[in-house]
Amino acid sequence: MPIVNEGLQREFEWVTRPGEQKHIGEALDLADAVMQDIAYALITGQHLEVDRITQECLNNGYTANHILDHGLLNGMAIVGVKFRDNVIFVPEVLVAARAMKAGMAHIEPILSASGIEPIGTVIMGTVKGDLHDIGKNLCIMMLRGAGWTVHDLGVDTSPEEFADAVMEHEAQLIGMSALLTTTMPNMGRTIAYFEDIGLRDEVRFMVGGAPVTREFADEMGADGYGENAVECVETASDLLNLIKELA
Ligand code: B12
């Protein structure tokens, strides 16, 4: 449907690159009026509004996935463009991130509540020097929802912390996230650290984050790559199957 929220229409006008206009425009076409309200409230950092509308939508039968895809992530996409183009700065992004978290607080328990036996253990963390955690947290929600036990090391995670966690929790997988081109090499450094301490064969690595590509993942010697949270779950289960086949 066309954009009916006037505020969101004005926000969308900041998206001027043709590729992004098409991509975000197509995503917004799938957002009804109330999803547009969530996106607008998120962009403008109204966390109480995001909290209220998300709860209302869940009460009215919208699925958690629908609200995430068509409301929250549409808002975050426009925040990303405005930040990059210097229309907004770190404080505004932090306020939008707080609004994203207000929505995710309702969605997380639903995506995580599968009630099935854990299928495996993953250690997740954002690599050293990097403080971005929204995408990693989404991956964690989806993994938990798919039945994985996930230990979250948070942000700014050193290779030593990854190694300690693998030993403590006997995890089969590590998922590393990086959002900065300057911290991406810390993924490769973490894998190299595992080689140095003789732990590389004990665990499989999957990597992701907006600047990370499959080619970069291959180059650094990662075992798997995922472009989004759904692919993160698929990659985790592919890697677990591989581990079982080789056992
Ligand atoms: C929110 C945000 C912030 C917030 C972070 C809040 C938080 N708690 O995370 C704050 C304001 C703190 C911030 C700070 C900075 N940021 Co910032 N930030 C962003 C922004 C706008 C959105 C990121 C986001 O949350 N996206 C939404 C999530 C859902 O997407 P995602 O993270 O990509 O995750 C998905 C996939 O990548 C994948 N995935 C993610 N992790 C993993 C892991 C695995 C294993 C797998 C399989 C998949 C996977 O699945 C996720 C879900 O689908 C981006 C712009 C953008 N559009 O990416 C800039 C951006 C990443 N930031 C940028 C910069 C420059 C900075 C700062 C250096 C700014 C500054 N001058 O201080 C600092 C760095 C701080 C630090 N040391 O980390 C640049 C990076 C540029 C570059 N080339 O490196 C970006 C791209 C903005 C830009 N275009 O300039 N930022």
pLDDT above 60 for 114: no
The pLDDT-based confidence of 217 (bands split at 50, 70, 90) is very high
What pLDDT does residue 84 have? 84
Q: Give the Cα separation of 121 and 242 in Å (integer).
A: 15
Mean pLDDT calculated for residue range 137-147: 79
**CA nearest 227: which of 206, 203, 247, 209?**
209
- pTM value is 0.81
The pLDDT-based confidence of 191 (bands split at 50, 70, 90) is very high
Note the pLDDT tens digit of each residue in 116-135: 567 899 999 999 999 999 88
CB of 155 shorter than 6 A to ligand 1: no
User: Which residues belong to CATH 3.40.50.280 in the chain?
Assistant: 121-246
pLDDT above 80 for 210: yes
CB of 130 shorter than 6 A to ligand 1: yes
What pLDDT does residue 181 have? 97
Tell me which DSSP letter residue 157 carries: B
| Percent of the chain scoring above 90 in pLDDT | 75
How many angstroms is it from 76 CA to the middle of ligand 1?
10
Name the CATH superfamily, with its identifier, for domain 121-246: Cobalamin-binding domain (3.40.50.280)
* Mean model confidence pLDDT for the chain: 93
CB of 128 shorter than 6 A to ligand 1: no
What pLDDT does residue 83 have? 83
Hey, whose CA ends up nearest to atom 81 of ligand 1? 180
CB of 208 shorter than 6 A to ligand 1: yes
Mean pLDDT calculated for residue range 180-209: 97
User: Which residues belong to CATH 1.10.1240.10 in the chain?
Assistant: 6-112
Hey, whose CA ends up nearest to atom 32 of ligand 1? 135
Q: Give the Cα separation of 128 and 163 in Å (integer).
A: 13
Contact 163, 197 (CB under 8 A): yes
Hey, whose CA ends up nearest to atom 44 of ligand 1? 208
CB of 23 shorter than 6 A to ligand 1: no
CATH 3.40.630.30 fits 6-112, yes or no: no
What pLDDT does residue 142 have? 75
How many angstroms is it from 133 CA to the middle of ligand 1?
8
Please name every residue paired with 127 in a beta bridge, in sequence order, or none if there are none: 157
Note the pLDDT tens digit of each residue in 28-86: 999 999 999 999 999 999 999 999 999 999 999 999 989 988 999 899 889 888 988 99
Cα dihedral 121, 127, 128, 130 sign: negative
The pLDDT-based confidence of 115 (bands split at 50, 70, 90) is low
SS3 217: helix
Task: Report the atom number in ligand 1 closest to the C-alpha of 178.
Answer: 41
How many angstroms is it from 185 CA to the middle of ligand 1?
16
The structure tokens 């700065």 sit at 89
CA 176 from centroid of its chain's CA atoms: 11
Please name every residue paired with 139 in a beta bridge, in sequence order, or none if there are none: none
CB of 247 shorter than 6 A to ligand 1: no
Q: Give the Cα separation of 65 and 32 in Å (integer).
A: 14
Mean pLDDT calculated for residue range 147-162: 95
CB of 97 shorter than 6 A to ligand 1: yes
The pLDDT-based confidence of 201 (bands split at 50, 70, 90) is very high
How many angstroms is it from 245 CA to the middle of ligand 1?
35
Mean pLDDT calculated for residue range 101-105: 92
What pLDDT does residue 117 have? 67
CB of 94 shorter than 6 A to ligand 1: yes
Hey, whose CA ends up nearest to atom 89 of ligand 1? 84
